[in-house]
Amino acid sequence: MKVKSKTFEIESIFHHYVQPMNVVTKFATDITGITREMTTNQPDIKATLELFHTWMQNENLLSEEVSFIFVTCGDWDLKTQLPEETKRRSIPLPHYLKSWINIKKAFHATLGTKGKTSMMGMLFKLNITHTGKHHSGIDDVKNIAKILARLASEGHVYQKTGEVK
């Protein structure tokens, strides 16, 4: 999702399901809402990353004049999961997916709190209504964008919190 940094409005959304390595289980469907049918005949991760790169180009995000960073809810996705998956499949990890802002760290810095927190906990503490299906990637991103905007309205100045070297 592309979010305008000055207004925090959603400008554009990239959303694709990816062909999983294993069958989508009932447990995964119950948590995410994603079914086997939704992932059938979808591109694999390599093709999806290529589609994502094309979207980034079309959104003019890869221009040298443009500055952007990803926002995550935790470090695991970009620090561990994606680098391991691309390495396992011999896919180069795009440079722009090697740094990010962990919204949990911004949340704690803004509110002066410590300890473990979840997206649902941040939404509750900030009195923001959760929308969509929790653990559905596209819905989680929309909720993270709400947290991002709220923390900015509270005066938080964002900076990179994570990096893969």
Q: If you average pLDDT over every residue of the chain, what do you get?
A: 96
- Residue 21 pLDDT level (bands cut at 50, 70, 90): confident
The three-state secondary structure class of 105 is helix
Helices 137-153 & 103-111, crossing angle to 10 degrees?
30
Question: Class of 2-163 per CATH?
Answer: alpha beta
Going from N- to C-terminal start, the domains of the chain cover 2-163
- Residue 104 pLDDT level (bands cut at 50, 70, 90): very high
Phi, psi at 77, each rounded to 5°: -60, -50
Residue 165 clears pLDDT 90, i.e. is over it: no
